[in-house]
Amino acid sequence: MFTSENGQLRQPASVTGRFIELYEEVGLPPVRLHDLRHGAATLAYAAGADLKDIQEMLGHSLITITADTHTSLLPEADLGDRRGRSPARTARPRHLRKHRHRSGG
């Protein structure tokens, strides 16, 4: 929901239209306004936010909706072990990961 300066609700089409104007003005590729919601939730999860908190933030009725949508978008994030390790230390892009080679013998 978006409101104007006087607190009145804005029409979704006007918000979408303004959003398109803004990303075109700065030269960004097209993106749906709704995609920002997904992006924010996915980044929150990657940063260590609890799925229950993300579920509440998004207003999902079932946590499985949140989990299915947002955990699958960052498979390189260490999703199995969330015990205090920073995602910056556990989620390395594939091209930066060091491969360990076993020596023969």
- pLDDT, one tens digit for every residue, the chain (105 residues): 789 999 999 999 999 999 999 999 999 999 998 888 888 898 898 899 999 999 999 999 999 988 887 776 665 554 444 444 444 433 434 433 344 444 444
Length of the chain: 105
pTM listed for this prediction = 0.56
CB burial readout 41-54, b (16+ within 10 A) else e: bbebbbeeeebeeb
Cβ atoms of residues 66 and 51 within 8 Å: yes
In this structure, how many other beta carbons lie within 10 angstroms of the beta carbon of residue 16? 15
Exposure on the CB side of residue 93, measured as CA atoms within 13 A = 2
Question: What is Dmax (Cα atoms) for the chain?
Answer: 75
